[in-house]
C-alpha cells in the first residue's frame, strides 16, 4: 500500500447492534481517527441450522434503525453479503486498515472457529484486532473466583455515550462507492408478521413501557403463558442482538428502584439480568455444551430417536393442549415465557424421551431471542443432564390448570379446542363419545390423541435419571462443575 491511501478504523458489528454503550464503537472513536461501521451477513451463519429468516430480518430491521440514527452524521453501516475476511480484503483495496474493533462473541462453534481464522488473518496482515468484553462476560477464566468482582466493575461503569467528532465517520458517498465492490443485501423485511421488530428505537419503547407501568405485575405474570406477554419486559431479543446493553437496562431499573413503591418486582427483574450474564459466562467457559452434556456422566445416556414424536412436538400436535399451544405460539411469534420454554423442553426430553440435542436447532431457529449462552445451558438444565440442578419434570396438565386456568392461551393457539368448555380444553382426551358428539368434536380427527402416556413416561424418565445421578462419573463431574462454575464466596 502507498502512503497516500487513507487510513480508517473498522468497527465490526456482531451481536451489538447499537451506538450507545457500545465499547467497540467508543474505543474506535476515542482514537480520533476516521471510522467505518460494518455488518457482514456471513455464509457460516446464513447456512447454520441454529439460525433462521426471522433472525436475519430482526438484524436487518436493527441495521435500518442504526442507519436512521446515523443519518444526522452523514454516514451509515456498510452492510455486506460476504464473510468478514473477504470484506476486510475488499476494504483494503481502498483504505489502510490497521485497527479493527469488535466485542468478544460468546457464540456457537462456527463463530468461534471463524474468530480463530480472523485472528490469524489479522496477524498476517499486521492488523490489531481489539476485542472488548460484552455484558460483563469475561474470557479466559478458569473458575468463578474473580468473576463477580470483574462483573460488578463492569456494571458500575456509566453506559458509554456515542459522540463522534465532526466528519469522523466515513461519509455515505464513500460507503456507496464501497458497495460497488462488495455484494450488499436488501434490508427490506416483511411488514405483517407477529414478530417483534428489531432496532434500538423499538427496544427502548418496550423497555420504557415496562419500567413506566408494566413491571408492577412482573412477579405475578412471569409464569403465565398469556399474561407474560405483557407482564414481562419483552426486551430479550433486544438484549440478544445487542440493541440494548444489559448494563444500561440494569442501571435504568436500579435508578427507578430508588424512588419506586414497588421495589420487589424491580429486584426480581434485575436479578434476572445478572442471571443472564451468569449463564453466558458458563457457556463461555465450557463451550462443548453446545453438543454434549456438560456432565460427562450423562453422555452415556442413549435415547431412541422418534421422527414421529419430534415432528408432532414441533408442529404442536402432541395431544397435550398446553404443550401444543406453546409450540404453535413459539413458531408463530418467536416468543414464549420462561416456564413454557422449560415445559416444552421437559416434555420433549422426558415424556417423549428424545435427546435434547434433537430439540436444539428447532428451538434456536424459533426463538427470536436466540442467545447461545442461555440456550445450551438451559436446554441441559431442563433435560436434567447437569447433575448439579434439581431434576424437574413439568406436568403439562398441572401447569395448564395453574397458569392458564381459563384456557385462554390454549384456545388462542389451538383453535380446534375453542368450542369446548374449559375443563375439556385442558384435557380433551377425557371426553366421552357422547360428549364429543354433543360438541361436534372428534378426538383423533379434530385434535390428536395424546401421543404418550404422561404418568408412565414421567416415571420412566425419573427412574433412569435419578439412578444415573448415583453414577461415579456423574458425581465426579458434579464436583468439577461446581468448582468451575459456582462462587466459593457467599458474598455474591
Could you tell me which of 215, 241, 238 has the C-alpha nearest to residue 228? Answer: 215
Give yes or no for residue 458 having a pLDDT over 90. yes
Q: What is the pLDDT of residues 132-191, one digit of tens each?
A: 988 888 888 888 888 888 888 998 999 999 999 999 999 999 999 999 999 999 999 999
Q: What is the pLDDT of residues 381-433, one digit of tens each?
A: 999 999 888 899 999 999 999 999 999 999 999 999 999 999 999 999 999 99
Rounded average pLDDT over 255-274 = 95
Please give the domain boundaries of the chain with CATH numbers for all domains. 7-132 (3.40.50.620), 200-285 (no CATH), 296-485 (1.10.579.10)
pLDDT reported for residue 487 = 72
Kindly state the helix (H) or strand (E) to which residue 99 belongs, with its residue range: strand 96-103
pLDDT band at 334 (very low <50, low <70, confident <90, very high): very high
Could you tell me which of 249, 43, 289, 44 has the C-alpha nearest to residue 135? Answer: 249
pLDDT reported for residue 3 = 58
Give yes or no for residue 377 having a pLDDT over 50. yes
pLDDT reported for residue 447 = 98
Q: What is the pLDDT of residues 245-255, one digit of tens each?
A: 999 999 999 99
pLDDT reported for residue 388 = 85
Rounded average pLDDT over 460-485 = 93
pLDDT reported for residue 4 = 79
pLDDT reported for residue 490 = 45
Give yes or no for residue 11 having a pLDDT over 70. yes
| Long-range CB contacts (within 8 A, 24+) of 340-344 | 340/225, 341/378, 341/382, 342/378, 342/382, 342/392, 342/394, 343/394, 343/396, 343/399, 344/313
Q: What is the pLDDT of residues 276-309, one digit of tens each?
A: 988 999 999 999 999 999 999 999 898 999 999 9
Q: What is the pLDDT of residues 18-27, one digit of tens each?
A: 999 999 999 9
Biggest CA–CA distance in the chain, Å, is: 88
Q: What is the pLDDT of residues 35-73, one digit of tens each?
A: 999 999 999 999 999 999 999 999 999 999 999 999 999
pLDDT reported for residue 488 = 63
Give yes or no for residue 1 having a pLDDT over 70. no
Q: CB atoms < 10 A from the CB of 145, how many? A: 11
pLDDT reported for residue 387 = 83
Could you tell me which of 100, 115, 121 has the C-alpha nearest to residue 25? Answer: 100
Rounded average pLDDT over 8-18 = 98
Element counts in the chain: helices (H) and strands (E): 24, 5
Q: What is the pLDDT of residues 191-218, one digit of tens each?
A: 989 999 999 999 999 999 999 999 999 9
- Judge whether 264 and 219 are in contact, CB under 8 Å: yes
- The span from the CA of 109 to the CA of 117, in Å, is 12
| Long-range CB contacts (within 8 A, 24+) of 360-364 | 360/50, 361/49, 361/50, 362/314, 363/330, 364/50, 364/51
Q: What is the pLDDT of residues 63-104, one digit of tens each?
A: 999 999 999 999 999 999 999 999 999 999 999 999 999 999
pLDDT > 90: percent of the chain: 89
Rounded average pLDDT over 103-119 = 96
Higher pLDDT, 277 or 129: 129
Amino acid at each position: 500500500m502507498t502512503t497516500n491511501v487513507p487510513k480508517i478504523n473498522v468497527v465490526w458489528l456482531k451481536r451489538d447492534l447499537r451506538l450507545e454503550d457500545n465499547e467497540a464503537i467508543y474505543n474506535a472513536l476515542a482514537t480520533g481517527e476516521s471510522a467505518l461501521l460494518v455488518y457482514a451477513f456471513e455464509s457460516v451463519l446464513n447456512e447454520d441450522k441454529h439460525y433462521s429468516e426471522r433472525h436475519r430480518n430482526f438484524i436487518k430491521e436493527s441495521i435500518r434503525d442504526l442507519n436512521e440514527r446515523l443519518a444526522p452524521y452523514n454516514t451509515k453501516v456498510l452492510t455486506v453479503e460476504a464473510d468478514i475476511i473477504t470484506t476486510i480484503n475488499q476494504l483494503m483495496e481502498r483504505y489502510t486498515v490497521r485497527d479493527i474493533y469488535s466485542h468478544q462473541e460468546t457464540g456457537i462453534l462456527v463463530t468461534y472457529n471463524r474468530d480463530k481464522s480472523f485472528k490469524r488473518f489479522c496477524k498476517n496482515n499486521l492488523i490489531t484486532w481489539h476485542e472488548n468484553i460484552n455484558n460483563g462476560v469475561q474470557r479466559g477464566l478458569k473458575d468463578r473466583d474473580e468473576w463477580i468482582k470483574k462483573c460488578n466493575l463492569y456494571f458500575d461503569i456509566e453506559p458509554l455515550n456515542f459522540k463522534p467528532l465532526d466528519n469522523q465517520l466515513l461519509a455515505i458517498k464513500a460507503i456507496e462507492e464501497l458497495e460497488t465492490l462488495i455484494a450488499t443485501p436488501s434490508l427490506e423485511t416483511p411488514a405483517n408478521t407477529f414478530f417483534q421488530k428489531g432496532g434500538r428505537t423499538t427496544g427502548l419503547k418496550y423497555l420504557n413501557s415496562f419500567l413506566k407501568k408494566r413491571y408492577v405485575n412482573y412477579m405475578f405474570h412471569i409464569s403465565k403463558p398469556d399474561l407474560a406477554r405483557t407482564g414481562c419486559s419483552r426486551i430479550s431479543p433486544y438484549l440478544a442482538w445487542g440493541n440494548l446493553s444489559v448494563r444500561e437496562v440494569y442501571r435504568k431499573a436500579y435508578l427507578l428502584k430508588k424512588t419506586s413503591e414497588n421495589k420487589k418486582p424491580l429486584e426480581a427483574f434485575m436479578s434476572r439480568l445478572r442471571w443472564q450474564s451468569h449463564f453466558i459466562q458458563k457457556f463461555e467457559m465450557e463451550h462443548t455444551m453446545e453438543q454434549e452434556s456438560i456432565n460427562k456422566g450423562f453422555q452415556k445416556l442413549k435415547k431412541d430417536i422418534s421422527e414421529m414424536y419430534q415432528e408432532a412436538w414441533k408442529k404442536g400436535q402432541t395431544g397435550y393442549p398446553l404443550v401444543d399451544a406453546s409450540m404453535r405460539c413459539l413458531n408463530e411469534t418467536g416468543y414464549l415465557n420462561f416456564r413454557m420454554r422449560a415445559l416444552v423442553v421437559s416434555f420433549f426430553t422426558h415424556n417423549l424421551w428424545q435427546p435434547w440435542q434433537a430439540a436444539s436447532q428447532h428451538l434456536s431457529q424459533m426463538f427470536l431471542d436466540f442467545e447461545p449462552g442461555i440456550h445450551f445451558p438451559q436446554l441441559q438444565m431442563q433435560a436434567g443432564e447437569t447433575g448439579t440442578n434439581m431434576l424437574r419434570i413439568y406436568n403439562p396438565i398441572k401447569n395448564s390448570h395453574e397458569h392458564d386456568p381459563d384456557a385462554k392461551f390454549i384456545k388462542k393457539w389451538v383453535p380446534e379446542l375453542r368450542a369446548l368448555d374449559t375443563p375439556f380444553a385442558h384435557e380433551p382426551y377425557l371426553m366421552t363419545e357422547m360428549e364429543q358428539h354433543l360438541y361436534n368434536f372428534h378426538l383423533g380427527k379434530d385434535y390428536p390423541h395424546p401421543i404418550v402416556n404422561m404418568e408412565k413416561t414421567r416415571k420412566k424418565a425419573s427412574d433412569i435419571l435419578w439412578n444415573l445421578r448415583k453414577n461415579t462419573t456423574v458425581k465426579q463431574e458434579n464436583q468439577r462443575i461446581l468448582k468451575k462454575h459456582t462462587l466459593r464466596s457467599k458474598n455474591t
